[in-house]
Amino acid sequence: MKTTKKTKTSYTLFDAAAYLDNEEAIAEYLTAAAEDPNSDVFLSALGDVAKARGMAQIAERAGVGRESLYKALGGGAKPRYETINAVLHALGVKFAIAPTSAP
């Protein structure tokens, strides 16, 4: 009887921030996240982009503390519009409004 050697598979957690290295990738990533009906998806994406750009630097530019930024972008958070807008500006991106196909 032949026995087979079992190999152990290891996985590395996916970190989107590692792939957000240019403005086009960031804009596409945030746009896709904003289209998801779950607001936590967009907040998580903002966190990924802030992490890619340097959380402390983005917090400073947005005028919030680093810990406050982590909390604002964490799961289940309900940040104010002003906070999200400040983070978007600190990241160098903005919201764009477009009509849907049906009114």
Task: Tell me the one-letter amino acid at 22.
Answer: N
Structural domain boundaries of the chain? 22-91
Position 68 scores a pLDDT of 94
Q: What is the DSSP string of 56-81?
A: HHHHHHHTS-HHHHHHHTSTT----H
Round to whole Å and give the CA distance between 26 and 47: 11
Position 3 scores a pLDDT of 64
Residue tagged 């966190």 (tokens): 47
Closest Cα partner for 43 from 77, 81, 80, 92?
Answer: 77
Q: Please enumerate in sequence order all residues whose Cβ is within 8 A of that of 29, keeping only pairs 6 or more positions apart, or say none.
A: 16, 20, 45, 48, 49
pLDDT tens for the chain, 103 residues long, are 566 677 888 888 888 988 999 989 999 999 999 999 999 999 999 999 999 999 999 999 999 999 999 999 988 899 999 999 999 999 999 888 888 877 6
The 8-class DSSP code of residue 73 comes to T
Position 103 scores a pLDDT of 66
Q: Please state at what angle helix 39-53 crosses helix 81-91, rounded to 10 degrees.
A: 40
